[in-house]
Structure 1
Amino acid sequence: MFAPASGLGVFDRESGERQLALEYLAEAWNEAEEDGVQTGSLAHASLFAALATLVKLHGDEAAADLVAMLPDRIRSGEYNLDKILQ
């Protein structure tokens, strides 16, 4: 199950509205899993929806620039919900 309250680091301090949005998404995610939707399918659909929205709001180049930064952020553990932040 997706638990938004643990290990979000910078994200949960950045914006109350973003935290609220994440809580809504976590609720929908958990309901979908309870209905039998596989986690991998949810992740892929979520990434597609997020990227399509970023492209619509900011354009192809800005979205591509953001995605280009993701490998380093992923490797540094920014998206690891199991990582303990100190």
Structure 2
Amino acid sequence: MTKPQIVVYSKPRCVKCDWTYKALDAKGITYDVVNLAEDENALEYVKDLGYLEAPVVVVDDQDHWSGFRPDHIDRIASHLTH
């Protein structure tokens, strides 16, 4: 199983974004960060997914969510360790 390329779409001064980074780091999950304030295409992408709140975490086309969701982070961590 290949590791998914997780992307966290974020914005500056976002507490839920910071919590998400810390939770991903604590689980040893690697991810890329895209700043929605600087990337208009990324902002359109997350809006097209139906999200209006940062962070938006995208694991793949079928697996994504918005906000701080430790339950989802635990779920993907368990998949990555098996």
TM-score, length of structure 2 as denominator length: 0.30
Higher strand share: 2
Higher helix share: 1
Q: For the pair shown, which has the larger CA radius of gyration, 1 or 2?
A: 1
TM-score, length of structure 1 as denominator length: 0.29
